[in-house]
Structure 1
Amino acid sequence: MKKAERFTVLGAGHGGKAMAAHLALLGADVALWNRTFDHISVVKKRKGIELESVEGGIHGFGAIDLVTSDIKEAIDHAQVIMVVLPSSAHADIARITAPHLKDGQIVILHPGRTLGAVEFAKVIRDNGCTTDVTVAEAETFIYASRSDGPAQARIFRIKEAVPLAALPSTRNEMVLQAIEDVYPQYIDGVDVLNTSMNNMGAIFHPALTLLNAGWIEHTHGDYQFYIDGVTPSVARMLEVLDRERVTVASSIGIRARTALEWLQLAYDTTGEDLHEAIHNQPGYYGIKAPMTLNHRYIFEDVPMSLVPIASLGKRYGVSVRGMESIIRIGSIIHRTDYWRRGRTVERLGLDNWSVSELTRFVREGVIESM
């Protein structure tokens, strides 16, 4: 695919507004879609978003060419569709976009969490999409950002290197080339199994929230999420979850980074164990905990990040008792069944696949048995 010039951003939260404004300031033709029009009415009235950045980063008024709550209009605009919504919304977005997707379009999930691209591709097919669309996922969200108002966004940091993989991975280079003029930060993520199994949010977010549930409810999040919340005992639980994740990855042929390796790669932080490494990371100081247990660290990261890893483990014979315990606690606290709601191998149509079939699918796109 040639260099993309027309982008549609689906989702007008802090991340979506930051991405739309950033793309516009880089010279792209940008559409912004949100299901609830009231949330984007000010952007439409002002015809853009005011973007601020720290330390001399990109800033200014990003003119948005199309602001709409009409999904067909938004999809028709785009060469590349950027999905910047909670992963719990991915399946629904796939359903409503399926009738409107066109040959040659690229859909990128920011991020996919675990097996997001697999879910999205399955849902659009199940809903009648037969066009040649490439679905890709980023390993993590490229920005640290927030919304300063209905038509304002602020970028605190842009990550220097973010792995991205297409489904199938034979299209990685095509996707990266399409967006490299605006996003040179994206690098080849090998395949969507690699981007999925290196999802560190699955390890840190649910356990840290649930194991500190009493503190969150008592203080309404008025403590340091990582520094105060990661005690030696909590860190031991994180290490168990991390070992399970790495073992599940190994069972499907993936050499996943350990949490310690990731901390060193992302932040140049080291330690003898997770407790020491987390407390050696200056960036974690001052980050407050969620104010409530009704938070995406549970309702998004449990079913969309942790459940699929655990489900893969159970399918391929790996003990995931630590993950199962966190999933169960989250389900009890939220009075729901996150196993039933989550991205299980059964829901994704992968429950009868061998490792070689799964690997061939993510690398070559073979889908006959799905």
Structure 2
Amino acid sequence: MTARVAIVGAGPIGCAAAAFLVRAGHAPAMWSPTAGRLRRDRDAATVACTGALQGKVEFELLDSPDRLADFPVVLVCLPANAYAAVLGPLNAGWRSGQHVVVSGALSLAPLWIAAAAMGVQVTGWATTLTTAHFQQDGLLHVNPLRSRIDMATVGAAGAASARQTCAQLFGERFVAADSLLAPALANINPIAHAAEVIPNLTRMESGEAWSLFGNFTPVVGRLAEGLDRERRAVAMAFGLELPSLQQHYARSYHVPQGPLHTMAAAIVRNGMSPNGPAVLEHRYVLEDAPFGLAFLEALGGVADVRTPVLTACLSLLAAAYARDFRADNFLLDALGIPGTAVGTLLARCAAAASPASRAR
């Protein structure tokens, strides 16, 4: 059955999601405050794909955010540092009964949306559907869909209904958890990106072209492993046992598990490594430092879990950028996370508890 889905965000992930929906026979539409890479023809947009998807796909381009209310399902594909500017105004326009899905949700954003929009089902995914990037020739390189995406939801429809909706759109790859903390802590992008960019900040500043996984050396691997241990320790303090970074890479890039630097080499051999950032003002820092690292550090404080590697990386980035990334995360105060108790936060995040699912 053809589904009508609106996508918010015209970056690589939003465009890849639209392409997969079109190929599955659905009818996506997209709204974005900026959509510079899209080829437009009146109310339609075209994206040329390579990789796991080949050829051109066309979908509707919405001329106003007001039209998002016409769609039963809205998939948000935005970096977290755009939440306040883009999602903030949209929160006033969601209608009761809509299902808003946040791809790669950071910092418990679904709780914030649900509090602002009564009667809306809000689902958070731990990661994105796939990895994708625009090449220099304008083609969108799309990797295969991830084999597993952890998710949780808040709203009257419940976890089973939300998981079914996601599966109808993108296939049986979704694992429903009974706490919104599960997908929030399962998102490995902040720790992976911190480990990848910190040793390469001068490359970014100089505008060099460099392979993200081609430069994933044993040093980067050790830093990533240290950050991952702390992420999983924080999760355990909240009763959650989560997949490791190695497991995530195996599922996302379809390479054998092993030391992280050897997995990175396999990703490069398979032609799935994008280039690393060529500018300092990149979401790997501007999004992931405040809404990923600072969020993990705050949760560690709530649960009395030490995070020395994570704190060091966050402080190093703050010094390099002369910027207080902790203060950039407005959701920490909006959700009252500092100073809360473990039990209180668990209770708030279990609003969508499903007896048939358990966070894992």
**What range is the shorter-chain TM-score in?**
0.7 to 0.9
- Listed one character per residue, the Cα deviations across residues 165-219 of structure 1 (whole Å, up to 9, x for unaligned) are 212697222112223332114412413211111221121102321122234445x
User: SS at the partner of 1:333?
Assistant: helix
Instruction: Give the partner amino acid of 2:189.
Output: G
Report how many aligned residue pairs link the two structures: 350
Identity value in percent: 19
SS in 1 for 2:66: helix
The amino acid that maps onto 1:211 is P
Which residue does 2:66 correspond to in 1?
A: 72
- The secondary structure found in structure 2 opposite 1:237 is helix
5 Å matches for 1:283-294? 283=270, 287-294=274-281
Which amino acid letter does the alignment assign opposite residue 163 of structure 2? L
The 8 Å contact of residues 9 and 78 in structure 2, kept in 1 or not, is answered as: yes
Write the deviation string for residues 272-309 of structure 1: whole angstroms up to 9, x where unpaired.
x4445544554488543321222111111111111111
Say if 1:90 and 1:120, in contact at 8 Å, map to a contact too.
Answer: no
Q: How far, CA to CA, are the matches of 2:205 and 2:314 in structure 1?
A: 19
Aligned residue in 2 for 1:330: 317
Q: 1:240 — aligned with what?
A: 226
Residue number in structure 2 paired with 1:110? 103
Q: 1:129-180, CA deviations, whole angstroms, 9 ceiling, x for partnerless residues?
A: 3x30011122211133344799974534322332222126972221122233
Q: Does the CA-based 8 Å contact 1:114-1:199 persist in structure 2? A: no
Instruction: Indicate the residue corresponding to 1:91 in structure 2.
Output: 84
Question: In structure 1, what is the Cα distance between the partners aligned to 2:272 and 2:48?
Answer: 26
Q: Is the 8 A contact 2:66 2:93 kept in 1?
A: yes
Name the residue aligned to 1:23. 21
Residue number among 185, 192, 208 corresponding to 2:196 in the alignment: 208
Report the AA paired with residue 98 of structure 1: N
Q: Greater shift after overlay, 205-214 or 299-308?
A: 205-214
Q: Does structure 1 residue 349 correspond to structure 2 residue 336?
A: yes
Q: How far 1:7 sits from its partner (Å)?
A: 1.2
What is the TM-score of this pair, normalised by structure 1?
0.82
SS in 2 for 1:132: coil
Kindly state the Cα deviation for residue 265 of structure 1 after the two structures are TM-superposed: 4.5
Picking from 238, 244, 247, the partner of 1:258 is: 244
Deviation for aligned residue 1:365: 5.2
Output the TM-score relative to the length of structure 2. 0.84
Amino acid at match of 1:52: C
Does structure 2 conserve the Cα–Cα contact (< 8 Å) formed by 1:4 and 1:79? no
Q: How much is the aligned-residue C-alpha RMSD, in angstroms?
A: 3.1
In 1: Cα distance, 2:161 partner to 2:263 partner: 37
The CA deviation at 1:12 is: 1.7
Contact preservation (8 Å) 1:17, 1:49: no
How far does residue 237 in structure 1 lie from its aligned partner after superposition?
Answer: 2.4
Q: Structure 2 unaligned runs (5+)?
A: 354-360
- My pick for the range that moved more, 287-296 or 332-341, is 287-296
